[in-house]
Amino acid sequence: MLLIPVIINHKCIFPLMLQEMKVLFLAAGYGTRLERDVLADQSGRYDHLRGVPKPLVPVGGHRLISHWMNILMKLDTVEQFYLVTNQKYLAQFEAWAQAWPKLQIFSDGTTDNETRSGAVRCIQLAVQHFHITDDLLVIGGDTLFYEDFDLQTFLKTFNELQTKTKDACLVTYYNCAEHETVKFGILEVDERDVVTRFREKPQPEETPSRRACPCFYLYSSSSLPLLQEFLLERKDRPLKEIDAPGNFLQYLYTRRPVFVYEISGRFDVGGLQSYIVCDQYFMQKKGQ
């Protein structure tokens, strides 16, 4: 537990205790859209991306997921890092992880997109395998935020919320364009910034909100047992109902208070074009 002094009128009033937490990267997807785009590209400029899982594609001179590790390794509050992948890409992640001794990797055992576990099941598999009982930050392995994102402020916000509401969870959002709601999970919130509704890829007329929610969730420890409940209730349903991580968020907000934290934007590396935009952004930042 890390103590952060709170200064008011030049006096230390009380310490804010930052709880220790775990971090889980979701990296068990098969990147079928990116792979398809790369194979279709005739320029040959992106052949180096063939067969590479999205979290390991080079972005601005570093592997995509290494950007997160470079930020997270500076925190005293993170005890351990975990990553769940699949059997197809396990060896690539193990080779990359040699530079990160605090990172443990687990395979869900699947070998192709048709047998994939789905994001929510992957979270639960990791929680069970690694016996995670602390607060858990879940990060999508194909997601990066703009460079103005302040992780320390995000974590302090979470801890401040937990001093008032122990079960509080915290998720991020950014404001998307009206026509983009059909591509993202959209949050509706009340005046306290608490989630009141989650819609998966709604039409613009189906919601007044434009708050797009990326896969960057800080779950309170008390919310983790709900993963198993969620999966048991849906054990006979199609994979699409447990595939996207937002499916669990839709279940969670009615059982735990889920607060929102605004960010300026994010990159979601889905296909080749979104990869190019993300890479160019970080290359420009690197050159500044």
pLDDT tens digits, one per residue of 43-75: 999 999 999 999 999 999 999 999 999 999 999
The three-class DSSP label of residue 266 is strand
Using CA atoms of 68, 212, 285, 281 in order, give the dihedral in degrees to the nearest 10: 110
The one-letter amino acid at 55: P
pLDDT tens digit string along 126-152?
999 999 999 999 999 999 999 999 999
Q: What would the mean pLDDT of 180-205 be, rounded to a whole number? A: 96
Q: What integer pLDDT is reported at residue 12 of this predicted model? A: 42
Query: What gap in Å lies between CA 74 and CA 65, rounded to an integer?
Result: 15
Give the separation between CA 228 and CA 18, rounded to whole angstroms: 27
What percent of the chain clears pLDDT 90, i.e. is strictly above it? 86
Residues constituting the chain: 288
DSSP 288: -
The pLDDT of residue 288: 63
- Residue 13: predicted pLDDT: 42
DSSP 218: E
Amino acid 7: pLDDT: 43
The pLDDT value recorded for residue 18 is 56
pLDDT tens profile 71-129: 999 998 898 999 999 999 999 999 999 999 999 999 999 999 999 999 999 999 999 99
Bridge partners, residue 216, by sequence:
139
Tell me the β-bridge partners of 27. Answer: 85
Please give the angle made by the CA atoms of 236, 241 and 246, to the nearest 5 degrees.
145
pLDDT confidence of residue 15: 47
What is the pLDDT at residue 9? 46
pLDDT digits (tens, 9 = 90+) for 242-253: 888 999 999 999
| Residue 38 to residue 106: CA distance in whole angstroms | 27
Q: Which domain holds residue 82?
A: 2-287
What are the phi and psi torsion angles at 11 (to 5°)?
A: -125, 140
Distance CA 168, CA 1 (A): 18
Note the pLDDT tens digit of each residue in 25-44.
999 999 999 999 999 999 99
Q: Read off the pLDDT of residues 226-238 as tens digits, 9 standing for 90 and up.
A: 999 999 999 888 8
Kindly tell me the burial class for residue 222, based on how many C-beta atoms sit within 10 Å of its own C-beta (0-12, 13-18, 19 or more).
middle
Tokens of 109: 């055992």
For residue 8, the model assigns a pLDDT of: 42
CATH of the domain at 133: 3.90.550.10
Is the pLDDT assigned to residue 186 strictly greater than 50?
yes
Number of domains in the chain: 1
Q: Out of 3-7, 56-60, 62-66, 202-206, pick the least confident.
A: 3-7
**How far is 108 from 58, CA to CA, in rounded Å?**
24
How much is the mean pLDDT over the chain? 92
Q: Which residues contact 8 (CB under 8 A, 6 or more apart)?
A: none
**Is 154's pLDDT higher than 70?**
yes
